[in-house]
Structure 1
Amino acid sequence: MGIQGLLPLLKSIHEHRKISDFSGQILAVDGYVWLHRGAYGCAAQLVKGENTTRYVDYAMHRVRLLKHHNITPYVVFDGGPLPAKMGTESTRHQSREENRAKALSLDKEGKHSEARDYFTKAVDVTPEMAYQLIKALKAEDISYIVAPYEADAQLTFLEREGIVDGIITEDSDLLVFGCKQVLFKLDSDGNCVCIKRENFAKVTDITLFGWGDQQFRGMAMLSGCDYLPSIPGLGVKTSHKLLRKHKTIEGVLHAIRMGSQLKIPPNYLRDFRTAELAFLYQRVYDPRSQRLVTLSKLPEDMGDWDDRYVGKDLDPVLAKVLRMVESIL
């Protein structure tokens, strides 16, 4: 999940903390991350269609860990699929199906240890699993929200608007979206890694000094993201080096064409600009106004743009009705 190689590149600003350090704060949680983690422990049962709630137990243990340390959890779930990611989701679905077939075959042969790895790769978090966790959250009066589209954008909005103080996830995309305080690798003992955006200038493996959100986002997107066809062989370090030297995406692409064996997909610059919309203007739900809004305010000169990358708008009344349906699930 996220931008491959980005977190190791920021290792010099990883702060190893205890979750108790964040006592008194409201932390938003990527609910699907905890569901995925919990699903790994019961992957075989889930893939075989057997009844289990171990994934809910895993997530609720983390919820209670936060509450024990006087932290208020605010759990965010993915909503409807963003059309711009359909290609990525289709590829992932095919991979899971292939792993599922291999797992079941090995399991039938009695090779349970070998099958375990394939079961883990085949497991998927479904809306039904999210529903089971939502019921558990409601039973303990824990705040949650289902994003209209992707949880990443919704998490970013909640932090940006001051509704939460930080985010718990395993997805480095939250840094690309512009989040200021992100906690990774939270374990059962309360250990975690904190990355703060204010420390980017202190990174030692690469130079981020003087860069703003646009340059950081450009570096990450060039190295490969879910919204954009990748340039095979172009990693995050090389993307950083090229963007530092050539300043703009156009300059980087020109340099690659003139002096590199890397193959740029057709219409890449156009696709890059439209994919960037997902990081800037994806639609999210504002719990205060009870309507859908864009992550950032749209420029007045926006002109025609592609809804596939931000999600379609919903009438405020319909948006409110959908949230009411969630509340009674």
Structure 2
Amino acid sequence: MGIKGLLRNIKATDRQVHVSELKDKRVGVDSYCWLHKAILTCAIELVHQKPTRKYIDYMISKVNLLLRAGCIPIMIFDGRDIPLKEETNKGRADHRSRSLQRGLQLYRCGDREGAVPFLAQGVPITTEMAYTVIQELRRMGVTCIVAPYEADAQLAFLAREKYIDVVITEDSDLLVYGTPVVWYKLDRQGYAIEQRYDEARKHLASAAGYENFEYIQFISLCILSGCDYLSSLNGIGIRKASKLVTKFSNINEIVSALAADEKSSHPKELLEKYALDFEKAMYCFLHHIVYDPETKSTSHFTPLASKSHKDSLIGNIFDAEMSKAICEDATIDPINLTPYKSLKNESQKITNFFHHQSTCEERIISKIHKTVRKRSLQEIIECQTDGKSVASTRESTESKSRVKVVSRFFAMPREAVANTIEPPCSQSPDLSVRSYTIIMDDCIPSPTLPETQAYTTDTLPDSQPSVISLDTSVEISTGGHSNECVNSTVQKIARYVGCRNTRSNASAKSGKILSVKSVDEIAEIIENSG
């Protein structure tokens, strides 16, 4: 995203900064850059059609970081794609599809941690998701603007018009547009890397043996290096592009020089087409459509010298009413130009994208939740695994306990009755333990996704916890006041369910993670115990 190699070649002008320097300043944020990172927190939930607000909470946490610093965040969201980027967007869609398939493969193999980055790359950020974030941020009093087209040009326009003082983004295109101050890589502690347009431009010119680049020269070398609108020619990067723009005044002279170069391997026809595409890219950088919050209307980033608006390259100018509805009021979806619909089916829309992009094999996985019928608690307990009936509860003289069940196999979390297990030993339970949360993987015929069942008992110490062992892992979290007895109780439960490896931490708030090697081991231990 942005100009290939630009940030790497101006690293010498990097300056580490902190959000405390932004006090009382207006800060424009490229919101979709944060949204792409936010998806990492909930990629699995989105793939599995689970309702989630983790991406919203992530955005709120980032905005709060700025608010605590005393600055005024202005959140800018992407609007429509410009026509010239159609091929680029197709390539990105293909990349999302491949990432999704790779993520599903890793997840199916049990590598959840490895799957998340790929699944996050495969999740499409929809306008409805952006809309939910906008609504939440506006409740906090944060200004949000939806760009008519791309956010980077909108941010650059606002910076040029002094509407904002600093831009926070991950997109190097902001420097191409001449944005005075840009912050990259803002972390949780509030540190970032600052780049200034004048310094970056002068540094590249100096490296090419030139005093400084003019505005058009800088845009030209960035396009030659490779941008979202046009890939670079083979063998041309930032350094060579810098030298070319110092020697020649326009693209025609550059391609003529390349054609005459004996070392050049570029066919004449390719160079002629490249020159035409270069002019189109230059047009988009200069005349991108932006929204002016002062006049409540859309216009060009740089005014056109004549009535030569090329909507086939940059899209259409909206009328004043539509401009305000899309960009400022956020009542009209910028993609389909209709009012935002209800968000109740947001997760289903994401799933439909996956279903459309996936191969037949992956479709089986993406739809697996729909094929699993709702089962009773007893059916789950008596789950069939590898031909063995795993009975994971025992008859006990103890009275029955109420077990809160949270599972996708039940329509809503509800109360269910289950037999309590036989106490692991004759000693009384630890009075410090307030609750146990037991989580295990469900058993679903291949191909499988690691489903999760969670059972929580809040009745301790009045009764023993119900332990249900189904697949490869059991997680027991203890709450309440910590003392030396907690670890003892955890070890008792570990021995009872047949755990081979245990890890315990004496911290009052930390959980106890108990792992078993296989389902067969659980079955064997339970059967041998009578």
- Measured against the shorter chain, the TM-score band is over 0.9
Deviation at 1:105, TM superposition (A): 2.4
Asked whether the equivalents of residues 282 and 310 of structure 1 are also in contact (C-alpha less than 8 Å), the reply is: yes
- Corresponding residue number in structure 2 for 1:293: 299
Letter in 2 for 1:24: D
Deviation at 1:161, TM superposition (A): 0.9
- Structure 1 residues 80 and 30, CA, compared in 2 at 3 Å: closer, same or farther? same
Asked whether the equivalents of residues 5 and 237 of structure 2 are also in contact (C-alpha less than 8 Å), the reply is: yes
Q: Deviations over 1:70-115 (max 9, x none)?
A: 1000000001121111111111011111221222123123233443
Letter in 1 for 2:182: V
Stretches of structure 1 that go unaligned for 5 or more consecutive residues are none
Question: Residues of 2 paired with 1:208 and 1:164: CA distance?
Answer: 31
Range with bigger deviation, 229-238 or 123-132 = 229-238
Deviation at 1:288, TM superposition (A): 1.2
Q: Please, what TM-score do these two structures have when normalized by structure 1?
A: 0.92
Question: Residues of 1 paired with 2:243 and 2:331: CA distance?
Answer: 48
Deviation at 1:249, TM superposition (A): 2.0
- Corresponding residue number in structure 1 for 2:452: none
Deviation at 1:311, TM superposition (A): 2.0
1:267 to 2:269 alignment: no
- Corresponding residue number in structure 2 for 1:7: 7
- Corresponding residue number in structure 2 for 1:243: 245
Percent of matched pairs sharing the same residue? 34
1:201 to 2:202 alignment: yes
Deviation at 1:202, TM superposition (A): 4.4
- Corresponding residue number in structure 1 for 2:330: 326
Q: Deviations over 1:191-247 (max 9, x none)?
A: 011111232324565556321111111001011111124323422222112222334
Give 1 or 2: higher helix fraction.
1
Question: Residues of 1 paired with 2:309 and 2:138: CA distance?
Answer: 38
Letter in 1 for 2:14: H
Range with bigger deviation, 106-115 or 159-168 = 106-115
Instruction: After TM superposition, list the pairs within 5 Å mapping 1:1-329 onto structure 2.
Output: 1-199=1-199, 200-202=201-203, 205-206=207-208, 209-259=211-261, 260-262=264-266, 264=270, 267-299=273-305, 302=306, 304-323=308-327, 325-326=329-330
Letter in 2 for 1:39: I
Q: Deviations over 1:40-88 (max 9, x none)?
A: 2322323343322222222211111111111000000001121111111
Question: Residues of 2 paired with 1:148 and 1:303: CA distance?
Answer: 20
Matched residue pairs, number? 327
Deviation at 1:28, TM superposition (A): 0.4
Letter in 1 for 2:297: R
Range with bigger deviation, 68-77 or 39-48 = 39-48
- Structure 1 residues 45 and 309, CA, compared in 2 at 3 Å: closer, same or farther? same
Range with bigger deviation, 261-270 or 79-88 = 261-270
- Structure 1 residues 77 and 208, CA, compared in 2 at 3 Å: closer, same or farther? farther
Question: Residues of 1 paired with 2:208 and 2:141: CA distance?
Answer: 44
Helix, strand or coil at the partner of 2:100: helix
- Structure 1 residues 112 and 292, CA, compared in 2 at 3 Å: closer, same or farther? same
Asked whether the equivalents of residues 36 and 124 of structure 1 are also in contact (C-alpha less than 8 Å), the reply is: no
Asked whether the equivalents of residues 282 and 309 of structure 1 are also in contact (C-alpha less than 8 Å), the reply is: no
Question: Residues of 2 paired with 1:191 and 1:251: CA distance?
Answer: 43
- Structure 1 residues 202 and 320, CA, compared in 2 at 3 Å: closer, same or farther? closer
Question: Residues of 1 paired with 2:113 and 2:63: CA distance?
Answer: 31
Letter in 2 for 1:320: K
Larger Rg over CA atoms: 2
- Structure 1 residues 44 and 256, CA, compared in 2 at 3 Å: closer, same or farther? farther
Helix, strand or coil at the partner of 2:144: strand
Letter in 1 for 2:304: L
Stretches of structure 2 that go unaligned for 5 or more consecutive residues are 333-339, 341-530
Q: Please, what TM-score do these two structures have when normalized by structure 2?
A: 0.58
Q: Deviations over 1:232-277 (max 9, x none)?
A: 3422222112222334322221222222124645522122112211
Q: Greater relative contact order (Cα 8 A, min sep 6): structure 1 or 2?
A: 1
